[in-house]
Structure 1
């Protein structure tokens, strides 16, 4: 299966279904806003609440330092197990396991994609275990320096700082003209729903 066939058979229908579901929800919301403006605006007011992530992430923002564990006498044994397990995993998955023989990609494309992705994840994990085991056996100092470089604390506050503001540019206009806004949303959503439904039907027929 080529990349273009994957996009055409998986990505495009998924996007169409998402747009269809969103347009159906927009139709319901638009008609509710146009026909029953009061209860709909009250529902929007109850749902339109801002929840700050700072309080939720505060326990995770505390840096915790752990002293490095002493050199274990079983380090070489553990490194050998890592090397052997990683090598066997890579060998078995690349030479003994054939996804094409287990699943017909034409009949069960989704299952074939999931199995291929799972196999790729296990291969990468086996390669990483092989690398860590080799470092434990032959270059323990490099493994220690690698752990020190990777063991860094990154604060999420800088990443979400720009999102810690409540933005409501649409609600004042909707509240001022709820019926007109409702009809506009309903008609636009109906047009999108009809277009997506027509595209999906034509894809199924052809």
Structure 2
């Protein structure tokens, strides 16, 4: 499963980048509302990621832009400023954002069809569903931000076969038929032409 493989690679890369400074890096079910997601990460500071689906792209053929949300949850009993900026003992949300963006943006997972792109960084509070109290993040001693990550994936199935390949473009040949038409006919190259060009490209 290519989605699970890329998800595991994202988790492994983040785990290595933070080198033990987080208490948890894990995945969560897609569609989990923000408040539940933040509460579920009991071992903050930590990161959880959730697959968001994909959008079709024009090139290369068969490729989609798969999306993940990377939630960065900071915790610090010293207050809101310490949760954002960190202190001598605990990493803050700002540093978590910078480290995660640096190691994920332009990185190519082994199972992907191209490089990942961090398309957005946002404060999670602003995205909370209506009716939920944003102050609950403050009273719980947590601050939450999210990165949106787009990863190109080549979707293949058991009947799709390998992706198409093209041989190197080495030689261009053209047979020209100048009016009145008719002496350049298939099969080509023609036996008699008005003009011909053959170009061999350097390799």
- Decide: shared fold, TM above 0.5: no
What is the TM-score normalised by the length of structure 2? 0.21
- Bigger strand share: 2
- Bigger helix share: 1
Q: Which has the higher contact order (CA 8 A, sep 6+)?
A: 1
What is the TM-score normalised by the length of structure 1? 0.21
